[in-house]
Amino acid sequence: MQHVWFKTINNLNNLYFIVQYKSEKIGVVNARNIDCENRTCESGIFFPEGKYSKTFIPAIVAIMTMEFGFRLFGAFKGYARVLKTNKAVQNMIRSTGYERCDGQEDVENQLYEITREKFLKKAGKLIRAMYTVTGNEEGMTLTIFREDFTNEIVMKWEEIGKKHADVIRVEEGEEGRIYHLK
């Protein structure tokens, strides 16, 4: 059943990433139902209850995910679903520019919407703080690892990124291609 399910999400319209911190796999982030024509998607993060779930790391991952979509792939609008009872996540995503969609007040898994403009306006200071905390003052980078050069989906996303991202420079090395972005 898992193999059948995986085939339904292993395509250009869904991206899933494992969040790794200090060599430990601690969560998952995704962008799903990606519509390249309208440049929209729904994203989500999952951190199981544990030593990292109530730290700054989920917030940084959420900001990085939004920045990834808006800056690297030129998304116009994003969506997220948050449980009605999860006030901490609601507060966090509102601080980055998300707004709850109309008609969601009584829905258990509420839909929120964000635009690129709202994100950049609301989260600008958070982004600068994130790069300071992570020690990456230069800004966003994307690495396409050499072992992924034969992955058709990764190569298609690299082409999409080349069309929409503000690339400062590209480095080619043993590890792969590293894109440095504005």
| For the chain, percent of residues with pLDDT exceeding 90 | 33
Long-range contacts of 38-42 (CB under 8 A, 24+ apart): 38/76, 38/77, 39/73, 39/74, 39/75, 39/76, 39/77, 40/75, 40/76, 40/77, 40/78, 40/79, 41/69, 41/75, 41/78, 41/79, 42/78, 42/79, 42/80, 42/81
45 and 92, same domain (yes or no): yes
CA–CA dist 15, 57 (Å, integer): 20
Give the domain extent around 174. Answer: 140-182
Q: Which of 98, 46, 37 is nearest to 90 (CA)?
A: 98
Do both 98 and 165 map to the same domain? no
Do 87 and 50 fall within a single domain? yes
**One domain, residues 111 and 164:** no
- Mean pLDDT score of the chain: 87
Q: Is the pLDDT of residue 134 over 80?
A: no
How many residues are recorded in the chain?
182
pLDDT for 55-108, tens place per residue? Answer: 888 888 888 888 888 877 788 899 999 999 999 889 988 988 999 999 999 999
How large is the average pLDDT for residues 119-138? 76
Number of domains in the chain: 2
Global pTM? 0.79
**What pLDDT sits at residue 164?**
83
Asked whether residue 34 falls in the same domain as residue 22, the answer is yes
Which is nearest to 40 in space by CA: 144, 126, 115, 127?
115
Q: Which pLDDT does position 157 carry in this prediction?
A: 87
Same domain, yes or no, for 146 and 179? yes
What pLDDT does 66 receive?
Answer: 86
Based on the domain organization, do 41 and 96 belong to the same domain?
yes
